[in-house]
Amino acid sequence: MPFAGQQMDLKESFGVTVKSIRRAKGLPQIAIGINQGYISELENGQKTPTLPKMDAIAKSLGIHPLTLLAAVYSNMGQEDSTQLLARVNNELQSLK
């Protein structure tokens, strides 16, 4: 965990976010459906998931992968979830 006032990096935020959601849902690490040791390393910021693993983790947590990513980026402290989702929506609209 970073010190007060210090922002998390992406890998650390991903792990903290997964752990927080998993615990909030009362799930053990093994419920994620991937090797428990891997999930432990991921939650401790030692591993970075591939896209297929990130997708599987989100689905195991019962959320959409974009929800997981939005929570990860929101936890990094640069934008809250409302600002982040508004930005994503605007960017998606501009790509049409």
Q: pLDDT per position in the chain (96 positions), as tens?
A: 444 445 678 999 999 999 999 999 999 999 987 788 999 999 999 999 999 999 999 999 999 999 999 999 988 887 888 888 899 999 999 999
Note the pLDDT of residue 34.
Answer: 77
Q: Residue ranges of the domains in the chain?
A: 10-94
Secondary structure percentages of the chain, helix, strand, coil, to 5: 65, 0, 35
pTM of the full structure: 0.84
Q: Give 10-94's CATH code, choosing from 3.20.20.70, 3.40.50.2300, 1.10.260.40, 1.10.760.10.
A: 1.10.260.40
Residue-level length of the chain: 96
CA atoms within a 13 Å half-sphere pointing along the CA-CB vector of 69: 13
Contact 33, 91 (CB under 8 A): no
Query: How many Å apart are CA 39 and CA 79, to the nearest integer?
Result: 26
Structure-block tokens of residue 47:
């591993």
> Would you state the pLDDT for residue 33?
79
